[in-house]
Chains A and B, each alone.
Chain A
């Protein structure tokens, strides 16, 4: 017995040690961790570098890989960006997208907070089925809804108006936000509300003064999600808006900046980059909330 144990132990210790050394030793860690990680980062970020460099390249360099190194720009120019801002409706598209995304987000957050509160806090008969229905609503993709939605929008007289987008975006924003907020409300101790109720507070007062302030991180991340999902939305904006000046950035860049056979790649890339910056900024400020809520949503 003791012999056996003695024989076993050094073997085990050695194995454990070698494992530790293997993973922390410089060259091996470089090959197994840092090298693949750098390749991932480079590949994932390269299109943005390429966008940025194209946006500031003069045409002479853009189409001449023999004389100039395509990965760099020798004489950067703002012409592409100027053309985009002063010779196209780009500022108008940005404004439209911002308006639509903001109003749709506010509308969805308002509806989702109330719905999530009802489902999670005002427990009622069948509340789990309402929750399930909302989860299922999230699984209905816009790609199967846009044709009937287009006929509905037309009948309602909303075709080619911003309201068409503001009222249809909540169909994918509400399920998502509600789902996220249910998770947040769940994490807030119910006892806090009970205490307030014993003190004689009404349910709406509880929601407004106790639950919502505590759920603020959840509200912020739901808001960021909703805003960026609206900013990203494409198929409804493509199908329901006709006038050039009422289009949202993603649709307008693709349909208005690409005219005929001549692609102004510089301006196109500038347009794509500028359209990405607002959401990228939003995320960079709230990236920790964002990652937390994403992991929270997945864990739910």
Chain B
């Protein structure tokens, strides 16, 4: 009512042409998309292209570079630290993702029970995911302290399972596992809450039908829960892989790639070479080397999303 009245008076005002222009659909679409498109084109698309260009140059900080073809990439192929960073990234992504999904699914199944204080529980469980990564990483740094680690204290002084304190961040493999553990810890809440959302959309009728057919708990999980959860699982998995693969904060905060460059991920190595090291071209090449992996993850996600739509369409019938 009031809107209609306002609109009618608006037509009699002198800014008539403005109103009419804003009611022109094509102009309005252009105007609506302009802010987002401008910001994304200037600060995302252009840098993405520039980054790929930089990867083929020998640009350094304060000096523009020349096109050098694949030289950055060929020299990286012989760079031990780079090769290690690729392996670390794959190991970090692989192990942490499996751990996050196994534990997250378990937690989601636990939370899907009838429990008292359900929403409080959900809120508490989300905390590790909400708190800024670097700040919780600093807490892990302190938990992994060689002398005052609370984990070592419990293992040695309380339980007596070990005789010496663990040097969590001082040895390559110990440091890698420590980082993977911290990443898993941070990732569980997101996986658990997303999968819980998926679990809650599964109709209890399906379980009743399965029980009538005599399916045991494992069979119900295998043939009802898992296939019904698959679409959400695929999406959450893609995001998780994407963000674990390109993780920077956690490693930078806890080990900075040490000890002796043994825990560098591709992202942290790109930063070290590119920003403090000043080798912008080489840093960009390391970053660009991540793109093929990301494209694979994206295609997977697109396929998964498309499949979901198809499944949802079928459900609606």
Task: Identify the A interface with B (CB < 8 A).
Answer: 12, 15-16, 19, 33, 36-37, 40-41, 43-45, 47-48, 50-51, 54, 62-63, 65, 70-71, 107, 110-112, 114-115, 117-118, 122, 124, 130, 134, 136-137, 139-152, 167-168, 170-171, 174-175, 178, 196, 199-206, 209-210, 228, 231-232, 234-235, 238-239, 249-251, 253-254, 265, 268-269, 271-273, 275-276, 279-280, 283-284, 287-288, 290-291, 294-295, 298-299
Contact = CB atoms under 8 A, between A and B. Distances in A.
Nearest to B4: A199
Interface in B1-45: 1, 3-4, 6-8, 10-11, 19, 22-23, 25-26, 28-29, 31-37, 39-40, 43-44
Contacts of A65: 148, 153, 157
A191 to B, nearest CB: 15
A297 B252 CA distance: 30
A147 B51 contact: yes
Given A272-B139, A275-B132, A36 B119 contact: no
Nearest to A119: B33
Nearest to A205: B3
Given A40-B107, A145-B47, A295-B194, A122 B3 contact: no
- A134, A136, A204, A298: most-surrounded residue (chain B CB, <10 A): A298
Interface residues of B, number: 110
13 contacts: A12-B212, A36-B110, A65-B148, A122-B28, A130-B33, A150-B274, A150-B275, A204-B22, A204-B28, A235-B249, A238-B252, A239-B275, A271-B135
Complex A-B, nearest 6 residue pairs according to Cβ-Cβ distance, in ascending order:
A295-B197, A199-B4, A118-B32, A143-B267, A148-B51, A141-B246
Interface stretch (B71-79, B94-102, B123-131, B167-175): B123-131
Given A114-B32, A205-B6, A144 B125 contact: no
A294 B211 contact: no
B189 interface: yes
Contacts of B200: 295
B54 A148 contact: yes
B133 to A, nearest CB: 6
A238 B249 CA distance: 10
Contacts of A107: 39
B3 A41 contact: no
Given A19-B211, A114-B34, A287-B123, 19 more contacts: A43-B185, A44-B127, A111-B39, A134-B40, A144-B291, A146-B275, A147-B54, A148-B47, A206-B3, A234-B252, A235-B248, A253-B135, A254-B138, A273-B135, A276-B132, A288-B119, A290-B126, A291-B122, A298-B236
A185 to B, nearest CB: 12
Contacts of B179: none
B224 interface: no
A278 to B, nearest CB: 10
Interface string B273-294: 0110000100110011011001
Nearest to B40: A137
A43 to B, nearest CB: 7
B124 A228 contact: no
A178 B32 CA distance: 12
A279 B136 CA distance: 13
B3 A196 contact: yes
Interface in B288-310: 288, 290-291, 294, 297-298, 301
B121 interface: yes
A44 B185 contact: yes
B86 interface: no
A36 B106 contact: yes
